[in-house]
């Protein structure tokens, strides 16, 4: 039996879903992978750096009850050492501009020979090469399946099942929040109430302007360029237009005409590199984008060896399905660590 001490930084929607899923899958992890785990560290701005190498009470954490700890660790390094972590789950809020402090959290974990798993796409855009090479140097994993198309295999699909395939073109729905907001406005809700709906489902970023202004999708396009196309694409080089500029009237009329708006992201290779964009587009009947609900995600890839490959992810427009499927990607990365 292998035993892992787990540390979670960022204990919001995804962090809590992950903990619930780890508990739900505890027996299967033991039976199928001979893995036992304990959460020995939990941290966030409100919680501080909680650590107990003997294991924290996970049921209490999920009830929002944090044990009083005198002399808490002062920073991520002290925290990981105090918790004697084996795996760090980095699940803090997206920082579009710098990817921090998530990059620092992951760098510190790898320097301490701790595997790092993240759902935070800022780390890919701003820290991918550094963190990849550090993870190789230390012989530890840095995994990020949940960062793009959370809930469906994307990076692991390419890595495991599409060797030597060259990605030429991509078009997709990468931001659930914008598409939920558009669908809610089509039903007569105000912009503010539509955002509230996305927040209730747990899919909006901590600052939802990253969603509706197109930056969350842009960061994901950038991650696709970096990881799947091996191309450097600065965020500033992406043509980004969010949904905020659309009026309620435009959104509702487009929907009534059977050509609703969706926030669409795309990238294609050009002679000199790549061209990438995020923008609202009216979709026509028969477009694969019409086949999924508002919170769903869809990616269509054109490869040199496969003319068209589509991944569609269906997410109910209620409950905590968004963070739950994200947590599953994070758990799948944990299993990859266990099999390392």
Ligand X SMILES: NC(=O)C1=CN([C@@H]2O[C@H](COP(=O)(O)OP(=O)(O)OC[C@H]3O[C@@H](n4cnc5c(N)ncnc54)[C@H](OP(=O)(O)O)[C@@H]3O)[C@@H](O)[C@H]2O)C=CC1
Tell me which of 176, 299, 317, 320 binds ligand LTNE7NMQ, using CB under 6 A. Answer: 176
C-alpha–C-alpha distance, residues 334 and 219, integer Å: 23
Tell me which of 120, 179, 299, 317 binds ligand X, using CB under 6 A. Answer: 120
Residue 196 known to be catalytic: no
| Residue of 167, 164, 146 lying closest to 155 (CA atoms) | 146
Binding segment for ligand LTNE7NMQ among 21-29, 65-73, 131-139, 198-206 (CB under 6 A)? 198-206
Query: Do 1 and 35 meet the contact criterion of CB atoms below 8 Å apart?
Result: yes
Q: What backbone phi and psi angles, to 5 degrees, belong to 203?
A: -105, -15
C-alpha–C-alpha distance, residues 112 and 128, integer Å: 18
13 contact choice in ligand X, ligand LTNE7NMQ, none (CB below 5 to 8 Å, kind-dependent): ligand X
The tokens describing 291, both together, are: 């086949």
211 contact choice in ligand X, ligand LTNE7NMQ, none (CB below 5 to 8 Å, kind-dependent): ligand LTNE7NMQ
Question: Which lies closer to ligand X via its Cβ, residue 34 or residue 97?
Answer: 97
C-alpha–C-alpha distance, residues 124 and 227, integer Å: 8
Query: Do 251 and 262 meet the contact criterion of CB atoms below 8 Å apart?
Result: no
Flag whether 205 is marked binding.
yes
C-alpha–C-alpha distance, residues 300 and 174, integer Å: 11
Question: Which lies closer to ligand X via its Cβ, residue 135 or residue 177?
Answer: 177
Question: Which lies closer to ligand X via its Cβ, residue 10 or residue 214?
Answer: 10
Binding segment for ligand LTNE7NMQ among 105-113, 202-210, 238-246, 272-280 (CB under 6 A)? 202-210
Choice among 140, 197, 220, 262 that is catalytic: 220
**In the bound complex, what is the minimum distance in angstroms from residue 118's beta carbon to ligand X?**
8
The tokens describing 322, both together, are: 């968004």
Provide CB contacts within 8 A for 154, sequence distance 6+: 145, 148, 299, 311
**In the bound complex, what is the minimum distance in angstroms from residue 306's beta carbon to ligand X?**
26
List b or e across 262-279, with b for residues whose CB sees 16 or more CB atoms inside 10 angstroms: bbbbbbebeeeebebbbb
Q: Decide: is 177 part of the binding site for ligand LTNE7NMQ (CB under 6 A).
A: yes
Q: Decide: is 195 part of the binding site for ligand X (CB under 6 A).
A: no
Known binding site for NADPH: residues?
Answer: 121
List the catalytic residues: 220
Known binding site for L-homoserine: residues?
Answer: 205
């Amino acid at each position: 039996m292998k035993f892992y001490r787990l540390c979670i930084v960022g204990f919001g929607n995804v962090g809590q879903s992950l903990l619930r899923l780890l508990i739900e899958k505890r027996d299967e992890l033991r039976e199928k992978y001979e893995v036992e785990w304990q959460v020995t560290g939990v941290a966030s701005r409100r919680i501080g750096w909680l650590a107990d190498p003997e294991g924290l009470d996970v049921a209490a954490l999920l009830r929002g009850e944090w044990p009083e700890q005198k002399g808490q660790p002062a920073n991520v390094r002290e925290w990981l050492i105090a918790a004697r972590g084996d795996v760090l789950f980095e699940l803090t809020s997206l920082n579009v501009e710098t990817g921090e402090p998530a990059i620092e959290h992951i760098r510190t974990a790898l320097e301490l020979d701790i595997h790092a798993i993240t759902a935070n796409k800022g780390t890919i855009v701003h820290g991918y090469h550094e963190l990849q090479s550090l993870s190789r140097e230390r012989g530890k994993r840095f995994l990020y399946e949940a960062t793009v198309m959370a809930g469906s295999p994307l990076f692991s699909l390419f890595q495991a099942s599409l060797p030597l395939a060259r990605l030429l073109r991509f078009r997709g729905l990468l931001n659930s929040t914008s598409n939920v907001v558009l669908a809610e406005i089509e039903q007569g809700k105000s912009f503010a109430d539509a955002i509230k709906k996305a927040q209730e489902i747990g899919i909006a970023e901590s600052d939802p302007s990253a969603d509706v202004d197109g930056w969350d999708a842009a960061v994901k396009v950038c991650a696709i360029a970096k990881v799947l196309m091996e191309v450097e694409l600065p965020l500033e080089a992406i043509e980004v237009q969010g949904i905020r500029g659309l009026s309620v009237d435009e959104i509702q009329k487009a929907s009534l005409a059977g050509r609703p708006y969706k926030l669409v992201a795309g990238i294609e290779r050009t002679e000199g590199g790549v061209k990438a964009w995020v923008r609202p587009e009216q979709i026509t009947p028969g477009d694969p984008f019409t086949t999924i609900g508002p919170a769903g995600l869809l990616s269509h890839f054109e490869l040199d060896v496969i003319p068209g490959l589509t991944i569609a992810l269906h997410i109910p427009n209620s409950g905590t399905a968004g963070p739950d499927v994200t947590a599953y990607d994070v758990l799948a990365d944990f299993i990859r660590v266990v099999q390392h």
